[in-house]
Every structure is written in structure tokens, then in C-alpha cells.
């Protein structure tokens, strides 16, 4: 792929990501906000700038794999059934495969692939736990969860900042890396 066509592909993916955000929320800004907060968190954790940039791009495109999930599943009010969960759990794999098609973005695929992993190993697609999950994906998981909780979705109203903070704290060591949660909460407290 030439650099010009790769640039067009990247712009297409950004637009698609914003469209997916708009399908599940009243705004198409979820991924942009997650990318900005992820970058800030990574810098506070003193990650090298190369890793910060990789995380920024991965966060911007983290839900791109939802392109294959039907709208009725993305917007469903209530719990997903087993078939719907299977579809939803594929989105990190699909997303990683999509960005691998770009020479420029291929390096962000592992972060997108692992962003639904949980610190205690209960996540997907691999069931990785703790330090086996790339740090960028652990950051993305915290920031993504906070932003999803504090913004309206088509299937539920936003939670307050305080409620979201309590939820993050309650999941420390289970879903989320304790150090990442502490760092992120310092950022959103200011």
C-alpha cells in the first residue's frame, strides 16, 4: 500500500470509528476523548513517547472491530444473549485485523486486540492477566470504561463522575490495573 493510499485508509478508519461511536452514543466523540485521556495517562506513567503515540492511535480506533456487530446488538437495552456476546467478543480481534492492513497502523494491533482483557484474567479474547496484558491496553481499558460510564448511550443514561470513580475503584485488581486506576483518577480529579 502506498503512503498516499495508506493515509486515505487511515482517514477512512477514523471516520468509521466516529460513525461507530455515534451508533452507540449521542455523540461521535467517545474514541477521541478516550484517546486524549489515554495519552495523558500514559504520559503521567512516564511511558516513552513512542508508546504514548501507539496508545493514542489504538485508543482512537479501539472499537473499529464493532463494524461487524449489528446495530441491534450494539444498542440493545438489557443483557446480551450468548450469540450476541460471541459477536461482541470478536470486536478486538476484528479491530486488530483491520489495522494490520495499514503499514502505518499495524503496530497498534496488539493494543486493540488486548483492550478487553481484565487484570484478573477474566477478559477476552485471550484471558490474559496482570502484566501479561500490554500496559497500553490496561490504560485503554480504564479510560474506555470511565468514558463509557460517564456518557449517555442509546441504551442507558450516563452515570455521574462520582459513580464512575466508585465503579473503577471497586474493580481495582479485578478488571483494572491498580496503578493505572490511581493515575487516571488523579487526571480526572483536576
Cβ burial 143-174 (10 Å sphere, 16+ → b, else e): bbbbbbbbbebeeeebbeeeebbeebeebbee
pLDDT recorded at residue 1:
56
> CB-based burial of residue 63 (10 Å sphere; 0-12 exposed, 13-18 middle, 19+ buried)?
buried
Note whether 58 and 115 are within 8 A (CB).
yes
pLDDT value of position 76: 87
CA angle 107, 112, 114 (to 5 degrees): 110
Q: pLDDT of the chain along its 190 residues, tens only?
A: 566 777 888 888 888 888 888 887 766 788 999 999 999 999 999 999 999 999 999 999 999 999 999 999 988 888 899 999 999 999 999 999 999 999 999 999 999 999 999 999 999 999 999 999 999 999 999 999 999 999 877 667 889 999 999 999 999 999 999 999 999 999 999 7
Q: How many CB atoms lie within 10 A of CB 140?
A: 29
Whether 66 is catalytic is yes
- Choose, from 29, 66, 76, 100, the residue flagged as catalytic: 66
Give the angle 88-91-93 at the CA atoms, nearest 5°.
Answer: 135
Give the pLDDT of residue 26.
64
Q: Which domains does the chain have, with CATH numbers?
A: 3-189 (1.10.3210.10)
**Terminal-residue alpha carbon distance, the chain:** 43
Amino acid at each position: 500500500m502506498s503512503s498516499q493510499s495508506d493515509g486515505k485508509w487511515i482517514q477512512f478508519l477514523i471516520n468509521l470509528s466516529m460513525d461507530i461511536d455515534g451508533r452507540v452514543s449521542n455523540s461521535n466523540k467517545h474514541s477521541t476523548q478516550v484517546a486524549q485521556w489515554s495519552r495523558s495517562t500514559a504520559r503521567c506513567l512516564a511511558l516513552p513517547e513512542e508508546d504514548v503515540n501507539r496508545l493514542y492511535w489504538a485508543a482512537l480506533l479501539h472499537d473499529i472491530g464493532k463494524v461487524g456487530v449489528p446495530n441491534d446488538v450494539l444498542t440493545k437495552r438489557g443483557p446480551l444473549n450468548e450469540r450476541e456476546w460471541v459477536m461482541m467478543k470478536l470486536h478486538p480481534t476484528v479491530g486488530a485485523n483491520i489495522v494490520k492492513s495499514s503499514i502505518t497502523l499495524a503496530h497498534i494491533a496488539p493494543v486493540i486486540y488486548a483492550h478487553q482483557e481484565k487484570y484478573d484474567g477474566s477478559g477476552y479474547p485471550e484471558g490474559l492477566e496482570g502484566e501479561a496484558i500490554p500496559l497500553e491496553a490496561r490504560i485503554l481499558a480504564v479510560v474506555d470504561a470511565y468514558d463509557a460510564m460517564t456518557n449517555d448511550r442509546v441504551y442507558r443514561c450516563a452515570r455521574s463522575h462520582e459513580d464512575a470513580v466508585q465503579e473503577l475503584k471497586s474493580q481495582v485488581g479485578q478488571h483494572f490495573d491498580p496503578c493505572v486506576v490511581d493515575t487516571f483518577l488523579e487526571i480526572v480529579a483536576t
